[in-house]
Amino acid sequence: MLELRDITTGYGKFRVLDKISLRIDAGEIVCVVGANGAGKTTLMRAISGIIPLWQGEKVFDGKDLTKLNAAKVTREGIIQIPEGRLIIKDLSVEDNMMLGAYSIYFKMKRSELKSNMGEIYELFPILKSRARQKAGALSGGEQQMLAIARGLMGKPRLLMLDEPSLGLAPLVVKTMFDIIVTLHTKGLPILLVEQNVRAAIGISNRGYVLETGNIVMEGASEDLLNDERMVKAYMGGDSVGGGGDKEDT
């Protein structure tokens, strides 16, 4: 569904990603794991069109997106949930959700928007009950749910999640991974960037390991979970529900 071929990019003259090739097939959860600074967020920005590619190609559902900017990539249905959530805390929960619909707002009837919102509220009943409250009043986990809900308002054909478990308490992390699995079960392909390596690989079909801008390992999740080098380098003491520097409920 999405194919990156030998992409190279970075910031200014600073090269971060060096000839990365990666694919996500329809119906897959694919994770990208790696240490701080490996280039995971940069990879997402390159897919989203937030930063341009220096070299290489990006093809989505048969269409060449290599030169499209972020607004156009979003309109193709590739939607990124950024690290840190970027919720507008002074706006209500529902207004934050509506912001996610901007890319399709003029293409959809009001009734369709409402029905999309209704489906999303079924997934996140807590957001429905807090719809009129300021988003800043939500807990960390609820704000992460809101960030996902806002992304879903744009009717993604591919959802990219950047560190959804970051800073959340273990129980909330478990809920977050359950939500990702539910979205996947509904047929949404997902690209998941995580430092919570074991949990991320555990819910994925395949995974890639990024080290200083290069893919150093890739494979089916079962193989990665059983790979001795992987376990040693990335999963020492890591477990489902673990991870996260600062806990936030």
Residue numbers of the site for ligand ATP (CB under 6 A)? 11, 14, 16, 34, 36-42, 195
201, amino acid identity: I
Contact in structure between 174 and 1 (CB atoms under 8 Å): no
Closest CA to 159 of 74, 98, 219, 93: 74
- Min dist. Cβ of residue 38 to ligand ATP (A): 4
CA distance 153 to 79: 10
181, amino acid identity: V
CA distance 160 to 163: 10
CA distance 166 to 196: 8
Structure tokens at 40: 């995971």
- Min dist. Cβ of residue 40 to ligand ATP (A): 4
- Min dist. Cβ of residue 36 to ligand ATP (A): 4
Q: How far is CA 86 from CA 22, 40, 120, 176, 215, in A?
A: 27, 18, 19, 17, 28
Closer CB to ligand ATP, residue 42 or residue 103?
42
